Structure 1
Amino acid sequence: MLIGSMSRYVLPRSHMLLLNRAGALKSRKVFSRSSTVMWPASNIHTHPYVGAKKFTDTENDYAREILLSSIVAAPNVVAALRAPESTQQFDEIIDWEPLSDRELLDQFHQVVEICARDDELCISDERFDSFVHSFVSKMPQFDEEQLVETLKLLVKLGPTPNINTRNYSQIWEATDKACLAKVPSWNTEKLLFMADQWYPLRLAKVGKFVGKAVFKISSKLRKLNKDDLVRTVFYINLTRVPVENMIDIELNLKNNFYRFDIDDLAILCMGFFKTQTPIRSVELISKIYQLTMHNASTVKDISLAAILKLLRYSSRIPHAQCMEQFLTVFTPEVPRISLFCCLHLALLGSDIHLGHQPCLEAVIERFIKDIKLLRLKDMERIAFAIAQNNMTHTDNRDITLLSAILDEMPSRIDEITTYPKSYLTLLHFLTLKDVYREELITAAFEPRFLHMTYGRNVASAGREVISLDGYLRINLRDGGKYSGNYFPEKQFKIIAKMTQDYIPSREYRLSKSDRMLLEILETLQKRHKFAHITHLLPHYQRPDVALLWDSNQRQLLDVASRCPKQYSGNILSRQFLLKDDSDRQELKLISIVAGSWNCYIRGQDRVTGGFAMKLKQLRLIGFEPVVIPWYEWPINSEEAMDTYLFEKLNPLLEQQ
């Protein structure tokens, strides 16, 4: 489907703005790989809590609220905030050393009160330097109660320009060291309680105490009760560092699964996903599917999103049946749940190529309705899901959504310049459904935009850009359908070489698809001398078997002699291979394509969008593709291979 095709045009104002933005950012060296973006201090720590992040972590705050409902304060640990007793003025020079720990804490109360009353005054003010120096020097002597009080005062102190603000950083770092020193003497309950006090500061990942506390607790993960396990995994999630024995969390969860409710399960899923640790137990994943389905009508969005991310990360082929049931149960919930959850439902089966048309169609309708609320990354991922599933949708609603996404691009300049790789990947996924706009692609392939995206090393780009370029050079080659910029040819060839599979050989370890391709070649060569494995389309990962049939002589000709002896990165079209003989109708080019399992949608004979585009492009460059599906290829008998292969080939060879 061609949208907005034109032979000659002037770039719209929005696309000129995109290129101008790219040039401006390039001139400021923001996009250099070695550069650092300097954000103004006013953009940092807008939350009432002092944080190490620019934005509030909604997911973690939600998990924290769940934990608070089950946390009981440890006895004799919590200290109430004390009202300031001293009235000493901090702008006077005094000696703080003689003051006791308690007196220094009272003075810190006064510092907090002064900063709270005066918006222009921050703890980094030099009048507090002497006090902070003395306060920090006494910190190692503080007991648990005083450390808790200090942390609560830091929370009350409010936002600072950043975590390294003078005086503020000295206090929290000294508190971190003091807590760290007490880790050996604190039990699990106290360690988790102190970690709870650190959370509001958003310093769990930056400081050392929480990580050390989690490390100590990790030695008893199998024996932790439900609440302590959930709290421990919550802090593993915050630090983003998996403990060595993450398997113990999995075993504890598996053995006590029905003690956890859906929100507890969501926190555990966050921990596994954020530390990039899949759950390996097929039985446990099946239980997670079942519990989530049981709570389908009531589960909260954030809990569902956390569970969906882990299910997608951990699910394998044995989970296909559970996954299909899950998507069936959640299809009626699509209008209720968040767009983020809808997106993860659409993506859930993508890794094992499971397509669930009713769910995907429901998500498409929801996204059409709320297109303005989608982020650029959401658009990229839903375009991927639609392209990969390669379904025929009622009234072409998938094309309606993809066209609406294109319509949104001129208003998404800020997002595009922030996530230019997502933009290029989105354009590629759209072309898999033949949806494109020339002005959007030519702006993306403008040298300034490519430099903004990849820096000086444009050859570091991925297959998505050369696939997009291949679409322009093959699908839009004729009829003046495209007259804009292309991806640089030299970089195209470099990326293609880096992303291609090697030509399979018996000398090396073979994958199933490589073995299948070699078996096809060897079966052919038993009857005919000439058959050749090569990359006809350099922007695709896997090679194919090429044949050249002369219908007058009724024999295969030497196609290998017409192919480049070394890698060239060229598209091996009919014109490229046959040159002056390309007009001879008796010469027929045939490509035998091995359809491995990941070229098909599970349980169906429908190919994926990427594989469908490959077959289409092979036809456009002058080949007759013959697909050998993996589930039809007879692997147990050479005679059966020969019979099957020539049953596929003979109809083409017999044509005049």
Structure 2
Amino acid sequence: MCAQRLWPTVQALGRGLVSSRSEIIQQGVKAYNAQNFNPNHLSQGHSSSHERFPLSQRIIHTSRGSFNKVVTRSVHSGTVLLVKEFTDTENEHAHAVLRSLPAYHATTVARDESLGSSSHHQHPFPPSDAEWSRCPADEVANRFIATSQECRHRPMDLEDTRHSGLCSELVGSLAQLSDDHLLRVLSALSLWPPTSATRTPNFVALWNALDQACTERINRWDMTRMFLVADHWFALRLSRISMYNIHMTKLLGRKVLSMAPSQLVQYLFYANLSRKLEPFIIKKDIEKRICEVLSQISVEELGVIAMGFFKTQTFLKNERLVEAIIKKTQENLECVSDASLCAILKLLRKSTPVTQWKLMHNLLESLVPQLDRLNNMCLLQVALLGNDLLVFHPQVINMIASRFASDMSNIRMKDIERITFALMLYNFVPSSRPDIFTLVAEELRKPERTVEINHYPKCFVSCVVYLTTLGFFPQDLISAALQPSMLSLLSMNRHYSDMGREVSELDWSLMIEGPPNYQGFRLNPDLREQLTKEYLGNLPGGPSKGLTHQERLLMEVKEKLAAILGGPEFISITHVLPHVQTPDLVFCTNSEGQAVALPQEYRELAPTALKRPFGRPGEINWNAVIVAGRNSFIRNTEDLRGNVHMRRRQLSTLGYYVSVIPFMEYNRKSLRAKLSCLERCLKDGSSLCMDGCIESAWVTLKGKADRQQEIFG
């Protein structure tokens, strides 16, 4: 059922749950130790002395979807649908864009319009349902249209039994109506007030019959008629589940090259509503046509196109088109609406290839003067714009962080999580609001956030993980994120299947860097072991042909470090940090800086074990080498991205000397240049005495290369 028609039911449900939710939570807290406490998930008990998550905010397991969603069922497919109680403002904005332009007047309808708006003689209702069967199809349709018109002045209930006969007879008469008459009936249905229940027989019967009738006739209609009918389904808020809309987008998918600019825009609007473009639809044809018409459409229409691509998870492959969209957006930044800019930025974030990262940076630079006028939702998309390519614009992030910090209480949990992710990714502490991490933590503690956290536990846990990645350890929030009831919420949702990685990382980070007096919730050791095994990366080995680029790079660096140290027995590849997927290189030196063999007991540690240095400090110096690949650095800088920075910090905390080998510098052709890079990095971060090492390694590696050249010619 459409959200619009269910609004009174949803509203009543929401009011009831809001008034009782706090009581439910308090009862859950009182019963928490008796019902939800699982000692197997804890390594220690709680202590009243440490920082705790307020009792009023304990996350408990309540039925998901009970507060801000209503569960209903598609009559066609039988699949469960989650109907949001709030209006889908993005789609409303896109439709308003179409309505505002003359090119779409013939194919769209306003919400208060009706093709059945002409006056009809008011007839009394027949005394019995049987009498309707003697009425011609046109008479039945006209009577329904007239009755629908009355709803404008005297709202009625479509499920009233006195309308049942009319509705039933109309369902059987639709096949006999002309196309225009059928469209007027479809339009008239939207005039009725929302029904009082999620599955009401008259409404369900009518829209299903209309859906079938429209779908059966679609092959004989031109594109103008198809779009007009599709817009009436949008007015009913049934586009996503109507067979008509799905069939229409399939049928027109092969005709995009012949579409006029306005037709292409409107087609992608309806594709957005159905949330999919069929696999057989040629995406290259759509991109080609957009390239041809881009100069003929407005930036607002471009926003509708971008929404169609993003909502169908279809991203651009044509680099020339991406460049043209960036240019058009820059030219119209002063006049583009927030909603349209949001859609365009979402598409560009997922579509811009790494070869065009400078265009992305230029767009961020162009956005700086506009930031003050943009709303929070749009600001978030600006902050996320460079994330996929690691393109960082400090001024942009600094200004947006300041805005978010000043309005934190009005920002959705999802958006708090996303802005925290951006700050973590760039390892950035905003100079304008260095206290933003404290503000985020305070916001997560507020009782007003409890229901939101309960419905979106992933956002809460991810936020806590990002804070710890930045070196900020709020003990009460960590305990709340690791408590059994929160883990249960995460495990219930198939969309959170990858959260085990973040939960595992949080627990390991707590073990390495957490406060020594922490006594909150921890993962059960068996569960941590299971999750660590599941997400542990591979140790490279075997033929290089089957290795990834990063694995080949790691093996190459290992070979050269072995030559520098004096032999392969002095170095090992291992997961020092079991929650980090990429392994590190480890070697040891004595107090004079000479390489010594790694202790055998260290080599025999389990792959999933945290590998702390052995021995007394000063007797053996432990060294870890991070081979930082192409995605370890912020674009065009020597600054490590947030989680690699955390990796270096945690290795240092464990007691390792840490060297970082940057891909950009190391990835040169000559052996001499590679060795020079390693020499510089080891001098900066390791305990190795480099006297004579590089020349010795040069002789060893050059001789090996010469022998291979002789063998293979």
Question: Given the superposition, is the C-alpha separation of residues 17 and 629 from structure 1 closer, same or farther in structure 2, using an over 3 Å criterion?
Answer: same
| Correspondence for 1:604 | 637
Contact 1:334 1:366 in 2 (8 A): no
| Correspondence for 1:48 | none
Alignment of 1:175-574 (within 5 A): 175-243=210-278, 244-391=281-428, 393-394=430-431, 397-409=432-444, 410=446, 411-455=448-492, 461-478=499-516, 480=517, 482-507=518-543, 509-526=546-563, 527-528=566-567, 529-551=569-591, 554-559=594-599, 561-564=601-604, 566-567=606-607, 569-574=608-613
Question: Given the superposition, is the C-alpha separation of residues 399 and 563 from structure 1 closer, same or farther in structure 2, using an over 3 Å criterion?
Answer: farther
1:269 counterpart SS class: helix
Q: Which amino acid aligns with 1:494?
A: Q
Aligned-pair distance for 1:418? 1.1
Q: Which amino acid aligns with 1:141?
A: Q
* Cα offsets for 1:404-453 (capped at 9, x unmatched): 12121213111111111110100111122223321122122221222233
Contact 2:47 2:519 in 1 (8 A): yes
TM-score (norm 2): 0.81
Aligned-pair distance for 1:551? 3.3
Structure 1 distance, partners of 2:673, 2:86, is 62
Question: Given the superposition, is the C-alpha separation of residues 584 and 198 from structure 1 closer, same or farther in structure 2, using an over 3 Å criterion?
Answer: closer
Structure 2 distance, partners of 1:228, 1:56, is 25
2:585 counterpart SS class: strand
1:472 counterpart SS class: helix
Contact 1:52 1:203 in 2 (8 A): no
1:627 counterpart SS class: strand
Contact 2:465 2:502 in 1 (8 A): yes
1:428 counterpart SS class: helix
Aligned-pair distance for 1:127? 3.4
* Cα offsets for 1:615-654 (capped at 9, x unmatched): 0100111211111000111453445544543454366223
Q: Which amino acid aligns with 1:400?
A: D
Aligned-pair distance for 1:515? 1.0
Question: Given the superposition, is the C-alpha separation of residues 560 and 344 from structure 1 closer, same or farther in structure 2, using an over 3 Å criterion?
Answer: farther
Contact 1:523 1:638 in 2 (8 A): no
With 355-364 and 639-648 compared, the bigger mean Cα shift is at 639-648
| Correspondence for 2:621 | 588
Q: Which amino acid aligns with 2:189?
A: L
Question: Given the superposition, is the C-alpha separation of residues 488 and 559 from structure 1 closer, same or farther in structure 2, using an over 3 Å criterion?
Answer: same
Aligned-pair distance for 1:163? 6.1
Q: Which amino acid aligns with 1:440?
A: L
Contact 2:397 2:430 in 1 (8 A): no
Aligned-pair distance for 1:255? 1.7
Structure 2 distance, partners of 1:293, 1:456, is 40
2:627 counterpart SS class: strand
| Correspondence for 2:699 | none
Contact 2:508 2:579 in 1 (8 A): yes
With 181-190 and 641-650 compared, the bigger mean Cα shift is at 641-650
With 55-64 and 420-429 compared, the bigger mean Cα shift is at 55-64
Structure 1 distance, partners of 2:69, 2:405, is 37
Q: Which amino acid aligns with 2:56?
A: L
Question: Given the superposition, is the C-alpha separation of residues 184 and 613 from structure 1 closer, same or farther in structure 2, using an over 3 Å criterion?
Answer: same
| Correspondence for 1:47 | none
| Correspondence for 1:3 | none
| Correspondence for 1:18 | 57
| Correspondence for 2:98 | 67
Aligned-residue CA RMSD in angstroms? Answer: 2.9
Structure 2 distance, partners of 1:555, 1:54, is 66
Aligned-pair distance for 1:530? 2.5
Aligned-pair distance for 1:55? 2.4
Contact 1:500 1:539 in 2 (8 A): yes
Structure 2 distance, partners of 1:40, 1:636, is 58
Structure 2 distance, partners of 1:647, 1:284, is 43
* Cα offsets for 1:78-108 (capped at 9, x unmatched): 9443444353336644321121122101321
| Correspondence for 1:58 | 89
Aligned-pair distance for 1:509? 2.0
1:502 counterpart SS class: coil
* Cα offsets for 1:466-489 (capped at 9, x unmatched): 2222221111254x3x23222332
Q: Which amino acid aligns with 1:556?
A: V
Equivalenced residues, count: 620
Question: Given the superposition, is the C-alpha separation of residues 400 and 186 from structure 1 closer, same or farther in structure 2, using an over 3 Å criterion?
Answer: same
Question: Given the superposition, is the C-alpha separation of residues 90 and 502 from structure 1 closer, same or farther in structure 2, using an over 3 Å criterion?
Answer: farther
Contact 2:116 2:187 in 1 (8 A): no
Q: Which amino acid aligns with 1:106?
A: N
1:503 counterpart SS class: coil
* Cα offsets for 1:170-221 (capped at 9, x unmatched): 1111111111111111111211121122210011111111121222222210
Q: Which amino acid aligns with 1:372?
A: S
Structure 2 distance, partners of 1:543, 1:228, is 52
Structure 2 distance, partners of 1:290, 1:249, is 19
Structure 2 distance, partners of 1:584, 1:364, is 42
1:486 counterpart SS class: coil
Could you list the runs of 5+ residues in structure 2 that have no partner in the other structure? 1-45, 74-81, 109-113, 692-713
Aligned-pair distance for 1:552? 6.0
Structure 2 distance, partners of 1:273, 1:346, is 17
TM-score (norm 1): 0.88
| Correspondence for 2:195 | 160
Question: Given the superposition, is the C-alpha separation of residues 335 and 316 from structure 1 closer, same or farther in structure 2, using an over 3 Å criterion?
Answer: same
2:665 counterpart SS class: coil
1:597 counterpart SS class: coil
The answer on 1:636 being equivalent to 2:669 is yes
Question: Given the superposition, is the C-alpha separation of residues 375 and 295 from structure 1 closer, same or farther in structure 2, using an over 3 Å criterion?
Answer: same
Contact 2:187 2:232 in 1 (8 A): yes
Question: Given the superposition, is the C-alpha separation of residues 238 and 489 from structure 1 closer, same or farther in structure 2, using an over 3 Å criterion?
Answer: same
* Cα offsets for 1:231-282 (capped at 9, x unmatched): 1110011111114222212111112221111011000000110111111111
With 66-75 and 368-377 compared, the bigger mean Cα shift is at 66-75
Contact 1:237 1:272 in 2 (8 A): yes
1:590 counterpart SS class: strand
Q: Which amino acid aligns with 1:486?
A: R
| Correspondence for 1:614 | 647
Structure 1 distance, partners of 2:391, 2:499, is 28
Contact 1:532 1:559 in 2 (8 A): no
The answer on 1:9 being equivalent to 2:49 is yes
Contact 1:599 1:611 in 2 (8 A): yes
* Cα offsets for 1:374-404 (capped at 9, x unmatched): 111111111111111123543xx34322211
Contact 1:531 1:559 in 2 (8 A): no
Aligned-pair distance for 1:318? 1.8
Q: Which amino acid aligns with 2:145?
A: H
Q: Which amino acid aligns with 1:632?
A: E
Contact 1:536 1:544 in 2 (8 A): yes
| Correspondence for 1:112 | 148
Question: Given the superposition, is the C-alpha separation of residues 224 and 448 from structure 1 closer, same or farther in structure 2, using an over 3 Å criterion?
Answer: same
Structure 2 distance, partners of 1:466, 1:573, is 18
Contact 2:423 2:429 in 1 (8 A): no
Question: Given the superposition, is the C-alpha separation of residues 196 and 377 from structure 1 closer, same or farther in structure 2, using an over 3 Å criterion?
Answer: same
